[in-house]
Amino acid sequence: MRSEVLDQLVARYLERPVKASWEGSPGDLLRGVFDDPHLELGGLATAWMPLEGVVLSARRAELHPGVPASIRVVEPSLLVSVGQRDVSRWVERFQLPFELRLTDVGVLARARVAGVPVGEVEASLSVVRGWFVLQPRRASLLGVPNYAAWLFRTYLPLPPLAEGARLEEIGHEEGRLRLRFELESFEEELTPGLLGRLQRRVLP
């Protein structure tokens, strides 16, 4: 179920356009109770790498009237996506001696020395103490076997996991990386700055 009224209401408090949907009927707007709600935002800037897309979903959301009103979100989860364009911009910004390509099997790193390709390493993404780290799976280094070892001690510039967030799934596709997190239930007041408070809950 979609509602432009709900889109406008949520956008007012998040201070940015969103698409809201849920499983139910228009009468849920009057009751303020929504099953399987989804809030879809476009890109989201962070202190690390920009996120191409963000979708917040939950088992249930409840609006509670008052001054101020509040919303309780039960068993929320978060799906974020990172695009190839932002990954490439990060590599270029720091003039790193390799390029990273998001593929349907992982992350492909092509190493260079003085601008000359010397090999490539296929890596998967894992979490180490809350941070995202590339782990090598397959290497082809054209006679330079130790060159890329230091690369995989480098953290990928994605926001770290917030306290209480659990990484449940990593999805790879050509040109895009998707991460799904399970979060703790929470309640927030519907006041200005709500987006910032929500962001700190999941992206400290």
The DSSP result for the chain, as a single string, is -B-HHHHHHHHHHHTS--EEEEES-THHHHHTEEEEEEEEE--B--SSSPBSEEEEE-SEEEEE-SSS-EEEEES-EEEEEEEHHHHHHHHHHTT-SEEEEE-SSSEEEEEEETTEEEEEEEEEEEEETTEEEEEEEEEE-TT-TTTTTGGGGSBPSSPPPPTT-EEEEEEEETTEEEEEEE---EEEE-STTHHHHHHHHH--
Q: Which tens digit of pLDDT belongs to each residue from 170-203?
A: 999 999 999 999 999 999 998 888 878 887 777 6
* Residue range 63-109, pLDDT digits in tens: 998 888 899 999 999 999 999 999 998 888 878 777 889 999 888 88
0.85 cut: is pTM over it?
no
